[in-house]
Structure formats: C-alpha cells, structure tokens
Amino acid sequence: METLTHWIDGRPVASKSERAGDVYNPATGEVQRHVPYATVDEVDAAVASAAKASESWRHASLATRTRVLFGYRELVNRHKDDLARLLTLEHGKVFSDAQGEVQRGLEVIEFACGLSSLLKGEISENVSTDVDSYSLRQPVGVVAGITPFNFPAMVPMWMYPVAIACGNTFVLKPSERDPSVTNFCAELLAKAGLPEGVMNVVHGDKVAVDRLLEHPAIGAISFVGSTPIARYIYETGTKNGKRVQALGGAKNHMVVLPDADMDLAADAAVGAGYGSAGERCMAISVLVAVGNAADKLLPKIKERIAAMKVGNGLEASSQMGPLITRQHLDKVTSYVNQGEAEGAKVLVDGRKLKVPGHEKGFFLGPCLLDDVRPEMVVYREEIFGPVLSVVRVATYAEAIALIHGHPYGNGTAIFTNDGGAARKFQHEIQVGMVGINVPIPVPMSYYSFGGWKQSLFGDLHIYGPDGVRFYTRNKVVIGRWPDPQFRGVELGFPQNS
Ligand code: NAD
C-alpha cells in the first residue's frame, strides 16, 4: 500500500520514520494509504530548506512573485475537480461541497495575486526640513502552518498563498487524516514556478508540531484546529518567541426570532447544521428559538431532514457524507446518547441510519435534539458532527445572554425580518463573524476570518488584510536628502523643524 511522501526542497521525499498512520476512505471504512509521521530530523530538513530559500525569495521582485501566484491560480482552477475528488475520497464530504471548498481557497489565492497593491507602504514627505519618512512591510522569514482535517485544501490556502506572496517561505504540517491534497497542491506550486524550498510539506503528528513550535528558524506560526490544541500552540509558540495566530473550535448559535421567514430559516438551519456532516467550524450547532419560533420552525426542519440523502460523497445524489473516522463517529454518537440521557428530546435520530453497500462507512444520520438546556454537555461542548441542538428561550435578551455565556465566539447568525433587531444584534453580539439571514458568514478573501473568545488565540485574524499584517513586519525609515546644511554633534533628542 502507498505511503505518502513529504515535500521538501521542491520534490517528494520518502520518510524514514518508523511511525505512520492510516488514511481512510470514510465512506467505505477502508484504509487507502499510509501517512508518515515525520521525525524531528525530517522537520529540521524542511525548515532548513525553507530557511535557505528565504535568503533569495525575500528578495524576489513583486513581479516575480505575482507571476508565480497567477500561475498557481490557473493550475488550481484547472485541477479544481481533481482536488475536490481527492477531498471527497479522504474527508468524505460530498463532491459539490468539496468543489465549494476549493473555490473558496481559490479566492484567497486570487487575493494573494494582488500582492503588489497589498504590500504598498506609506510615505510622508518633509516630516522635517528635507526629511521624508516611509514605512515598508517586509517578510517575517520562515513561517509554519498547522491545519485541521475538515478543510484540507481551503484552510492551508488561507495561509501559504498570502505568506508566500509576502515574501516568506513556508512549512506546512497538514492534518494526518486527509493529507493527500496537500502534496498535490505542493506539486502545482512547483509547476507554477515556485522556487525549491519556498513551500515544504511535512506530514506527522505531535512530534512534528512540537519541533515546529520550538525550531529557532521559524518566525511565525498559523494554526487552525480545536481549542485545546490552539491554546497549546499559542502558549508554546509565543513562549518560544514566535508570532502566533491560533484559530480554535466553535459552537455557533443561530437565533430565530418569531417574525423570521421560517422557510428561509429552516433551509438555512438544515444546510448549515448538516452540510459536511456538521464538520465545519462555521456549522450551526445550536438553534436558539425565541418565543413561539420553534413551533413554526421545527416541523419545517423535520420535513427537510426527511428529504435529505446521506451517502457516499462521490455519488451525485448524496447531500451529506460520512464522518472522518470511526473514532469520531463513536464520539459524536456518544454526545447524542448523553444528551438524551440528560433530558433532551431526540426529534430526529440519525443513530439508526444504514447506508446500503457502505456498512463499514463512518455514517451518522442527521440528529435533531429539542429542549436542550445550557447546562447539558451537548450544549457546552463542540460536537463537530451532524447534531443540531434546539434551545428554546422566551426573549431576544435571553438569546443574547446565552451566546455571551458560551466560551466560544466564532460565528453566529440571526434570522428576522426586523431590521432594527438585526442592527442591534450586529452591534452588541460578542462574536467575530455575524450573519444576518445568512447562516454561514465566512468572510470574503479580502476581509479576514476569525472568531472571538476561545475561538481564536492571538491578535490578528487569518487571510485578507490581517493575513498580510501577520506575515509581514513593519519597518519605518526616516531619510534626509540632499546633504544637510547643518553638520555637527547634537546630543539632544531629535526634533522636527
Ligand atoms: P485538531 O486540533 O485535532 O488538529 C489540528 C492540527 O493539530 C492537526 O494538524 C493535528 O495533527 C495537530 N494536533 C492534534 N493534536 C495535537 C497535539 N496534541 N499536539 C500538537 N499538535 C496536535 O483539529 P481537527 O480535529 O483536525 O479539526 C477539527 C477542529 O478544528 C474543530 O475543533 C474545528 O472547530 C476546528 N476548526 C476551526 C476553524 C477556525 O477557523 N476557527 C476552522 C476549521 C476547523
């Protein structure tokens, strides 16, 4: 059976590690290939390659960098369906959803193609007599990315196109559960003309991550994954003197007011709750029904769930695929069991689902839990599966208090026809990304993506303008031309005149 290679110095490199993991097809439950778990030496080789490449890439002209990124954009666009197919085979999400993932990643590449505008500094003429001052944005140097399983193409694309456009070199440690798409992207970057060593990929687990966190040649780390690991990455990376942005988990609430368009809200809740089997950090996992909204909304949601087709993501009729691993399936199922034991009403029970011909696949049907209360484990913890919890509250104020009381603050949405209520929600809610009659408010590539509270550790959001700030250091220059009239030693603090 195939074992994946790392990608170091512009070429595939076979691992000598004795440790490796299985990569499954979640729809069939079969192991498709093995992924090596890099040794410290292998991580060091990737970082050394990136450090060497940094010596020249940081000086590459904007024109050169732009050309490579445009070339890469063309190749990703041409291979969109190949990438999507790989995603479906290893992640399990349905093919159309995988295509959507690649498209949103492509948009970040397109943003990075605009680097010549993005990297413009500022200039102030004559700040003092014959003195000009200006700022430059320069690359950090070697940057590392550590990414989760749920968007194996898009989340790395939130990072490396922007980092590379800014003149950095990159070492990516993708998720070990669906790693193949990353190797494909590294190959496409090479085909686009990216010099050797500018992009490196090491596969692995905690051993590789820990080496990246401590490696003295790495200047910055972008992480996306679960909150406990995000906190660990942030604390360890910053302790080692690195710039770190670490995006964590989520528990996104969708508030439905009684005046909302209930058909629109039902469509949104089902799409955002069960799309990609709920394995999205922007999935809706809590439906907060205000007043009598639940009585109107829940029958419509049940109707839509009944019409949903769960199956192999490569079959065109499938709308929702399997979960990533058997272990994760068991964990999500145990949350449903626990919710039921704690008193939640299981309105739709996906635990009984069987997908004919895919008996060993990691499938769980959509689950809808009603009467969920804030003290229940299903409410407090991130489940990351096709489980939508309904919490009923009497007032808008209670809905807000619920969201503010939750430790996560990634995304949220409100469904209403009352513009004033929507405006109030957008103004006061303590969450990083807000949808108004939009359930999954993922910012465009020219904004930046990031949650609040325990959904993000660090100051800057990812991609967009914040991405450019994160991957560059600011430098301010003050210059005096022509030759100054006044010469002589001046010990006083410089003043402008
Ligand atoms: P994860 O935290 O288990 O893994 C993320 C990365 O960290 C992987 O590359 C993994 O190999 C590495 N890792 C795992 N355990 C580690 C350890 N002990 N020490 C060092 N490194 C370790 O996350 P996942 O299960 O792959 O992805 C799902 C999670 O990611 C969910 O919590 C989801 O909400 C979150 N997520 C967040 C965002 C966001 O933008 N905020 C986006 C996507 C996913």
Q: Return the pLDDT at 361.
A: 98
> CB–CB of 150/323 below 8 Å?
no
Which domain range does residue 182 map to?
6-248+455-477
Answer whether 468 contacts ligand 1 (Cβ < 6 A): no
Q: Return the pLDDT at 229.
A: 98
Burial class of residue 18 in the structure, from the number of CB atoms within 10 Å of its CB (0-12 exposed, 13-18 middle, 19+ buried): exposed
| Same-domain status, 133 and 276 | no
Q: Return the pLDDT at 230.
A: 98
What is the rounded CA–CA span in Å between residue 445 and residue 440? 15
Q: Return the pLDDT at 497.
A: 79
| Same-domain status, 209 and 266 | no
What tokens were used for 341?
A: 């034991």
| Same-domain status, 241 and 228 | yes
Q: Return the pLDDT at 202.
A: 98
For atom 20 of ligand 1, the residue with the nearest CA is: 206
| Same-domain status, 271 and 402 | yes
Which SS3 state, helix, strand or coil, does residue 227 take? helix
CA of 24 from ligand 1 middle (Å) equals 18
Q: Return the pLDDT at 235.
A: 98
| Same-domain status, 244 and 295 | no
Write a three-state SS string for 85-128.
Answer: HHHHHHHCCCHHHHHHHHHHHHHHHHHHHCHHHHCCCCEEEEEE
Beta bridge partners of 252: 284
What CATH number is given to the structural domain containing 44? Answer: 3.40.605.10
Residue type, 378: V
Question: Which residues in the chain come in under a pLDDT of 50?
Answer: none
* Number of independent structural domains in the chain: 2
Answer whether 98 contacts ligand 1 (Cβ < 6 A): no
What is the rounded CA–CA span in Å between residue 456 and residue 450? 7
| Same-domain status, 211 and 335 | no
| Same-domain status, 241 and 261 | no
Atom of ligand 1 nearest to the CA of 229: 2
Per-residue pLDDT tens over the stretch 12-58: 999 999 999 999 999 999 999 999 999 999 999 999 999 999 999 99
Atom of ligand 1 nearest to the CA of 148: 26
Write a three-state SS string for 319-361.
Answer: CECCCCCHHHHHHHHHHHHHHHHCCCEEEECHHHCCCCCCCCC
Answer whether 176 contacts ligand 1 (Cβ < 6 A): yes
Which SS3 state, helix, strand or coil, does residue 456 take? strand
Per-residue pLDDT tens over the stretch 292-349: 999 999 999 999 999 999 999 999 999 999 999 999 999 999 999 999 999 999 999 9
Answer whether 458 contacts ligand 1 (Cβ < 6 A): no
Q: Return the pLDDT at 64.
A: 98
CA of 132 from ligand 1 middle (Å) equals 46
* Domain assignment of residue 181, yes or no: yes
Contacts made by residues 75-79, CB under 8 angstroms, sequence distance 24+: 75/188, 75/191, 75/192, 76/102, 76/105, 76/106, 76/109, 76/185, 76/188, 77/106, 79/184, 79/188
What is the torsional sign of CA 461, 467, 473, 479? negative
CA of 176 from ligand 1 middle (Å) equals 10
| Same-domain status, 264 and 178 | no
What is the torsional sign of CA 155, 160, 163, 165? negative
What is the rounded CA–CA span in Å between residue 456 and residue 453? 6
DSSP 8-state assignment for residue 3: B
| Same-domain status, 236 and 203 | yes
Q: Is 166 a known active-site residue?
A: no
Answer whether 333 contacts ligand 1 (Cβ < 6 A): no
- Residue to probe by mutation, ligand 1, list 155, 173, 175, most atoms within 8 Å of CB: 175
Answer whether 39 contacts ligand 1 (Cβ < 6 A): no
Answer whether 180 contacts ligand 1 (Cβ < 6 A): no
Q: Return the pLDDT at 483.
A: 77
Q: Return the pLDDT at 171.
A: 99
Which position among 113, 166, 185, 281 bears the catalytic label?
281
The 10 Å Cβ neighbour count of residue 341 is 10
Q: Return the pLDDT at 452.
A: 98
Q: Return the pLDDT at 485.
A: 73
| Same-domain status, 316 and 199 | no
* Domain assignment of residue 482, yes or no: no
For atom 24 of ligand 1, the residue with the nearest CA is: 148
Answer whether 169 contacts ligand 1 (Cβ < 6 A): no
CA of 147 from ligand 1 middle (Å) equals 6
| Same-domain status, 122 and 98 | yes
- Tell me which residue has tokens 């170091």: 8
Atom of ligand 1 nearest to the CA of 250: 34
| Same-domain status, 230 and 215 | yes
Q: Which helix (H) or strand (E) holds 22?
A: strand 20-25
CA of 229 from ligand 1 middle (Å) equals 7
What CATH number is given to the structural domain containing 316? Answer: 3.40.309.10
Answer whether 206 contacts ligand 1 (Cβ < 6 A): yes
Atom of ligand 1 nearest to the CA of 249: 34
